[in-house]
Structure 1
Amino acid sequence: MSATAVALNTPPAPTWQPLCQRADLVAFSGVVAWLDTSAAQVALFYLPGHTPELYALDHFDPFSKAHVIGRGIVGDINGAPVIASPLYKQHFRLSDGQCLEDESVKLRRWPVRFDGEQVSIKA
């Protein structure tokens, strides 16, 4: 197989894509967006004054089997920002998606950033 054939079968590398504006976010709360490129629902969390200020996790809760993570309650456990699922109350670290009650469960995390007032996600 030639190198050209391999390159044609390789999926494109993730790139930064515009998602929404800072004004679309709600401080210390979740906002949900659809990613066409990944066919996924993403929960965005904006924590002004924290480092980092912006997080993106999968919106799907593996415990309830529902898309609800973006509707959870933002909090802090031992200094780490978390989201509590609104249904069964499991806590997920915003930094990496790790469930604090069950270490075998982790939500997908996407790199996300501000480009001026625009929110961009790597998907």
Structure 2
Amino acid sequence: MGWVRVCRLEDILPGTGVCALVDGKQVAIFRVGERLFAVSNFDPFTKANVISRGLVGSKGDRLYVASPLLKHRFDLETGECLDDPSVRLPVYAVRLESGEVWVSVAKPQAVEVGA
């Protein structure tokens, strides 16, 4: 699996996201506490690349990002839309190494809901 360095951890403010071009695709990377998440930056409802500008929140134990346009909420671990479970964002593997954030260039992970 190939990896792309996207930024330093300190470039992502806690509770926010950034967008990076990874293997020709826009990926939204979020920092929530000590955890990192990476999902597609493409909002399937508005057809706009805006997810990285969304607001991070939680519903129970599930962390999500709410799209800045129509406010659809997407689970940061699975990509599932909490408002329409038939829709989901591709999820990318992300890791932190020596203070740098890396995203996998492999095909986005297909994560089953409830897994």
TM range (shorter): 0.7 to 0.9
Match of 1:34 among 11, 15, 21: 21
More helix per residue: 1 or 2? 1
What does residue 44 of structure 1 align with?
29
Unpaired runs of at least 5, structure 1: 1-13
Aligned residues: 105
Match of 1:64 among 38, 42, 46: 46
Unpaired runs of at least 5, structure 2: 106-115
Structure 1 runs of 4+ aligned residues shifted over 3 Å read: none
Q: Aligned-pair distance for 1:17?
A: 2.3
What does residue 87 of structure 1 align with?
69
RMSD: 1.0
Structure-2 separation of matches of 1:118 and 1:80: 25
The code of the aligned residue for 1:89 comes to K
The code of the aligned residue for 2:91 comes to R
Residue 10 of structure 2 corresponds to residue 23 of structure 1: yes
Instruction: Name which one, 1 or 2, has greater alpha-carbon Rg.
Output: 1
What does residue 104 of structure 1 align with?
86
The code of the aligned residue for 2:61 comes to G
Percentage of identical aligned residues: 39
Q: Aligned-pair distance for 1:46?
A: 0.3
Structure-1 separation of matches of 2:10 and 2:48: 27
The code of the aligned residue for 1:116 comes to S
More strand per residue: 1 or 2? 2
